[in-house]
């Protein structure tokens, strides 16, 4: 049986495209146990903290849209995504 790939690892790989100077992908699923969208095994609620030169000159909304576009088909597979994005 193939090992299940972690969504956090997929996110990290895709976000590398934005040349982050700092990147944290945190699975916060366990703190949402019993809430909407929680799944056994986690991988439902994430927080991304990232600093990247790709965000320079972009508004907060534009930064969020860029991250969502970069993550692509990962976003519909999770329940919640919190973003803390800083320009380098």
- Is 2 domain-assigned? no
Of residues 37 and 86, more confidence is placed in 86
- Is 1 domain-assigned? no
Contacts with 56 (C-beta within 8 Å, 6 or more apart), sequence order? 87, 88
Q: What is the CATH number of the domain that holds 51?
A: 3.30.300.90
**Number of domains observed in the structure of the chain:** 1
Evaluate if pTM is beyond 0.75. yes
- Is 43 domain-assigned? yes
- CA quadruple 66, 74, 51, 16: dihedral sign: negative
Q: Let me know: does 88 contact 56? Beta carbons within 8 Å.
A: yes
- Is 58 domain-assigned? yes
Find the DSSP H helices in the chain: 7-15, 60-71
Rounded to an integer, what distance in angstroms lies between the CA atom of residue 4 and that of residue 49? 24
pLDDT by residue (tens digit) across 12-71? Answer: 999 999 999 999 999 988 766 666 666 666 788 999 999 999 999 999 999 999 999 999
Q: Let me know: does 7 contact 43? Beta carbons within 8 Å.
A: yes
């Amino acid at each position: 049986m193939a090992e299940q790939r972690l969504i956090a690892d997929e996110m990290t790989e895709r976000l590398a495209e934005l040349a982050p100077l700092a990147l944290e992908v945190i699975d916060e699923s366990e703190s949402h146990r019993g809430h909407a969208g929680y799944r056994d095994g986690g991988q439902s609620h994430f927080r991304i903290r990232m600093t990247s030169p790709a965000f320079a000159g972009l508004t907060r909304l534009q930064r969020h849209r860029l991250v969502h576009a970069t993550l692509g088909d990962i976003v519909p597979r999770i329940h919640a995504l919190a973003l803390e994005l800083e320009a380098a």
